[in-house]
Amino acid sequence: MEVKQVLRMNGGDSHISYAENSAHEMLILLKVKTILQNSMEYLFSRTQTECARVADLGCSSGPNTLQSILGIIQSMDNSLSRNITNDADHQKQPIVVQVFLNDLYGNDFNTVPAGLVSESGSHLNETSIYVEKGGNPKVQQAYLDQFRKDFTMFLKHRYEELVPNGQLFATIVGKNDDETDGPHAMNIIGSALNDMVLELPLDASVPQEHLKNGGDFNVRAAHVSSFIRAVFEPILESHFGDAIMNQLFQRFATKTAKLLEVGKGIVHTVVISLAKEEKNM
């Protein structure tokens, strides 16, 4: 089964849906608003157009889809208002905004890197489902090489699509090497899956009812578990079936609570704002 058939957000409006568990993305949108405004200022100080086109690559579904577009349109409006002159001949008229909402448009950035398989055909990452901090150096290098290839291709195609002075604005989940940087969500999911394979019992040191009704760390862990489930459940379900999902994410919440208690699990977001320079003829 192709990745594009199963890699999607949880639909609907239930407690495990993406629509009900996308507050983190909304927070990112609010935090990067100033950078977005600066991008629009740059664009409209150098370009006059009757029609602006916006493409949201990876728009998903739910309230954030339209909220992000609303933020862009508001930034455009603010930028254009600042550029209006008192000269009627140069009065800027309202512009048309065309919005293209795209998700899973055919590119597959999830192919397993060839470097994860040894010359004998064995898997170098056989105990994990994701690259791990402090793991096999060959696995880390394989993931890094794949990222460089994919992201270079991504930037190349976006450059070709942009008009002169056009803007590329992207937010990407990143990692850091400081003490607050815990494992990636997929590493925690992998650990929970390994426990289930070994038939290890749920950790009794964190009572399950406390994940919903207990202290701050447990409540936050339950929230994180719901968010991660909304994002990753469809692809996990395609591999392991739906019967284990409740137990899997219950274990995920338990492990996450323990990480939060020791100050791990800070999420880093990388913000990229690029402009395509207009070439002088």
Domain ranges of the chain: 23-108+162-172+267-281, 110-151, 182-265
What span, in angstroms and rounded, lies between the C-alpha atoms of 132 and 121?
A: 21
Counting every residue written for the chain, the total comes to 281
Residue by residue, pLDDT tens for the chain (281 residues) are 555 565 666 666 677 777 777 777 788 888 888 888 888 888 888 877 888 888 887 767 677 777 888 888 888 888 877 765 434 444 456 788 888 877 664 333 344 556 666 767 677 776 777 777 777 888 888 888 888 998 999 999 999 989 888 999 888 887 776 655 678 888 888 889 888 888 766 654 544 554 555 567 778 888 888 888 888 888 888 778 888 899 999 999 999 888 888 877 767 788 899 998 877 65
Specify the amino acid at residue 154.
F
Write down the pTM of the prediction: 0.58
- Identify the three-state secondary structure at position 171: strand
Structure tokens at 153: 């291709």
Q: Write down the architecture of domain 182-265 according to CATH.
A: Orthogonal Bundle (1.10)
Residue with tokens 């070709």: 160
Closest Cα to residue 250, out of 214, 215, 272, 218? 218
